Structure 1
Amino acid sequence: MITYPTLRQNATIGVTAPSSGVQKEIQFILTEAVAKMNKEGFAVVIGETPWKQLKAKSSPAMERATELNAMMADKNIDIIIPPWGGELLIELLEHLDFANYSAKWLLGYSDTSLLLLAVTLATGIATAHGTNLVDLRGEFWDDTTAAWLQALRTKTGKSIVQQSSPFYQKEWNFEEPSPCVFHLTEPTSWKTVSGKSVHMEGRLLGGCIDIIRHLAGTPFGDIHGFRKKHIPGERIVWYFENCELRTTDLKRSLVQLKLAGWFDHCSGLMFGRSAANAPVEDYEIEDVYRDLAEELDVPIIYDIDCGHVPPQMTFINGAYGEIAVSDGKGTVTQYFKP
């Protein structure tokens, strides 16, 4: 059984930095994001870690874990949204107090996706892979990004439908900020390995593959135990995004996850757009997807709205998803099925 948190009106957001904090010279983006959340009717509680950054992390592992554990146990905090991801969230895993976590939303992506997946696998509490806090600082949100709020207000037993974005951002341009943060200029097209329309369904799990691959073989990546305890007999649809891996490293990672049993009882895979995916010799990203589709005998969708090439949908780890792709357009329906 999956437990879905409830995001009430005028909820309280807890802001902690389990990975990277915000450097002093750009802390204005965090201040702007908090102001935007206040304007949207949220109360915001900020810990100490978001204001720190030293040696590729906001603070030592125990300090980050202590602050996160306290916010997760605090029943006055309804949702936790880190400023953004980072590099070394994995240092927290052995210090996380899962047994005392109350059911509340965790939202984010990149390095944060390690925390999201670990929490869902360990507790059966749904988590939300979507926008970072600093990307919500704009005057307005594009429709794809804005769906985070509707998704997290969906009640158990209900569903949310999201459509693929009309346009995506080709590259980050911090020199020319826009009212909605992202510069959405390139036409979006969801693709399939088969080149045909695709439909897949199953429980959604995933995240940034650079990061979550490191859960395999640890107590925090027990996919078999999760399936047996929380979704017995059900199949999984995996969504991934690639931040920095070349094609061969990505393929090695996927083979490792296959050998670790992560793709047992899998009904399909989805991959986000990526500015990485650099070919090695003539091994292109399409070759990776094609090889994987043949090896697993499942459909594969790619260039979806997920990850470091925004905007991105809000994917709920643990929700039951139905995904349909046709003529470059995608529809994702997520059922908050216990």
Structure 2
Amino acid sequence: MITYPILKKGATIGVTAPSSGVPEELHHIVERAVSRLNAEGYEVICSEIVWTDVKTRSASAKKRAEDFQRMMEDENIDLIIPPWGGELLIETLEHIDFEKIHPKWVMGYSDTSMLLLAITLKTGIATAHGTNLVDLRGEYSDKTTAMWRNVLATQKGNSIVQYSSEKFQKEWHHENPSPMIFHLTEETSWKSVAGGSVTMSGRLLGGCIDIVRHMIGTPFGDVKTFRSSFTDGEPIIWYFENCNMKTTDLRRTLVQMKLAGWFDGCAGIMFGRSPANTPVDDYLIEDVYQDLYGDIKVPVLYDIDCGHIPPQITLINGSFAEVEVEDGKGIVKQTFI
């Protein structure tokens, strides 16, 4: 059985930095996000390691793990949101005692997605792949991003429906800040390799594929045991987003996942829009998706609202999802069972 935390009104949010911290010149964006959340009625507690960043790390691996562990065991903290991702969260995993963590929401993406996936696979506690703290500093949120509150407040046994965005952000314009942070200018269109309408259902798992691929073969990436222990062997819908990899590296990673058994019992795979996917020779990202479809013969969707090209819907690792795509529009219904 999957364990679902619930976000209560007036919740206390803990902010720690299990990967990168925030350099001094950017402290103001965290302070602004904290101020916005306080104004909404949340109480926000920031760890001291949030405010430091040396050699891409907020602190040593052990200190980062201890700080996260402390917040997970603190009954007064209801939700943990790191300021953002980073590079070397993987160093912390061996220092976390997953058996002692209390069920509560942890939300984020990028490097944080490794921590989210590890928690769900190891413990059966649902985790939230969604917005980072710094992206909540705007005067208001677009309706896709803003759904994180409703999703995390969903009661066990109930369902929550999210829809594909109307527009997405092609590139940042930091010199021209938007009241909602993002500059949503491009028409969103979810695509399918096979074309036509698509429906699929299964347990959601995923994250930033550059990061979570390094869990393969470790005690933190045991998908087979997760399926037998927490889902009665139900099929998996994987969602991924590619931050940095070229097409050939992405292809190698997907083949490795298949050979490692990650796609056993797979009901479908979804890929977020990507700032990477750089072709090698004439091997395009569409070729990667087509090759994957040929390998595993399940629906492959791409350009969904997930990852480093905002906005993104809030995807819950461990939830039972029903996904429908037709004419470029997507619907994701997640049921907390």
- Give the structure-2-normalised TM-score: 0.99
Residue of structure 1 equivalent to 2:6 = 6
Residue of structure 2 equivalent to 1:111 = 111
Q: Determine the C-alpha separation between the residues in 2 that align with 1:45 and 1:56.
A: 22
Measured against aligned partners, the alpha-carbon deviations of 1:238-264 in whole angstroms (never above 9, x if no partner) come to 000000000000000001111110000
Q: Determine the C-alpha separation between the residues in 2 that align with 1:172 and 1:88.
A: 24
Give the SS at the match of 1:309: coil
Q: Does 1:250 align with 2:250?
A: yes
Shift of 1:11: 0.2
Shift of 1:281: 0.4
Residue of structure 1 equivalent to 2:24 = 24
Residue of structure 2 equivalent to 1:230 = 230
Residue of structure 1 equivalent to 2:190 = 190
5 Å-filtered alignment, 1:198-237, equals 198-237=198-237
Q: Does 1:290 align with 2:302?
A: no
Q: Does 1:267 align with 2:267?
A: yes
Q: Does 1:330 align with 2:333?
A: no
Task: Return the letter of the residue paired with 1:190.
Answer: W
Q: Determine the C-alpha separation between the residues in 1 that align with 2:176 and 2:95.
A: 40
Measured against aligned partners, the alpha-carbon deviations of 1:128-170 in whole angstroms (never above 9, x if no partner) come to 0000000000000000000000000000000100000000000
Measured against aligned partners, the alpha-carbon deviations of 1:67-99 in whole angstroms (never above 9, x if no partner) come to 100000001000000000000000001001111
Measured against aligned partners, the alpha-carbon deviations of 1:219-274 in whole angstroms (never above 9, x if no partner) come to 00000010110001200000000000000000000011111100000010000000
Q: Does 1:313 align with 2:328?
A: no
Q: Determine the C-alpha separation between the residues in 2 that align with 1:119 and 1:165.
A: 28
Identity fraction in percent: 63
5 Å-filtered alignment, 1:107-186, equals 107-186=107-186
Task: Return the letter of the residue paired with 1:318.
Answer: G
Task: Return the letter of the residue paired with 1:43.
Answer: E
Measured against aligned partners, the alpha-carbon deviations of 1:77-125 in whole angstroms (never above 9, x if no partner) come to 0000000000000000100111111110000000000000000000000
Q: Determine the C-alpha separation between the residues in 2 that align with 1:48 and 1:256.
A: 38
Task: Return the letter of the residue paired with 1:278.
Answer: T
Shift of 1:302: 0.3
Shift of 1:6: 1.1
Q: Determine the C-alpha separation between the residues in 2 that align with 1:39 and 1:180.
A: 16
Residue of structure 2 equivalent to 1:241 = 241
Q: Determine the C-alpha separation between the residues in 2 that align with 1:129 and 1:260.
A: 23
Q: Determine the C-alpha separation between the residues in 2 that align with 1:11 and 1:265.
A: 37
Measured against aligned partners, the alpha-carbon deviations of 1:198-224 in whole angstroms (never above 9, x if no partner) come to 111100000000000000000000000
Q: Determine the C-alpha separation between the residues in 2 that align with 1:180 and 1:35.
A: 15
Give the SS at the match of 1:143: coil
Task: Return the letter of the residue paired with 1:253.
Answer: T
Q: Determine the C-alpha separation between the residues in 1 that align with 2:185 and 2:161.
A: 24
Pairwise CA RMSD? 0.5
Q: Determine the C-alpha separation between the residues in 1 that align with 2:218 and 2:172.
A: 35
The 4+ residue runs of structure 1 with deviation greater than 2 A are: none
Give the SS at the match of 1:32: helix
Q: Determine the C-alpha separation between the residues in 1 that align with 2:249 and 2:320.
A: 30
Q: Determine the C-alpha separation between the residues in 2 that align with 1:71 and 1:176.
A: 36
- Give the structure-1-normalised TM-score: 0.99
Give the SS at the match of 2:144: helix
Shift of 1:64: 0.6
Q: Determine the C-alpha separation between the residues in 1 that align with 2:86 and 2:183.
A: 22
Q: Structure 2: where are the runs of 5+ without partners? A: none
Task: Return the letter of the residue paired with 1:169.
Answer: Q
5 Å-filtered alignment, 1:14-53, equals 14-53=14-53
Q: Structure 1: where are the runs of 5+ without partners? A: none
Give the SS at the match of 2:220: helix
Shift of 1:49: 1.0
Q: Determine the C-alpha separation between the residues in 1 that align with 2:122 and 2:194.
A: 35
Measured against aligned partners, the alpha-carbon deviations of 1:23-56 in whole angstroms (never above 9, x if no partner) come to 1001100000000010110001110111000001
Q: Determine the C-alpha separation between the residues in 1 that align with 2:239 and 2:308.
A: 13
Task: Return the letter of the residue paired with 1:194.
Answer: A
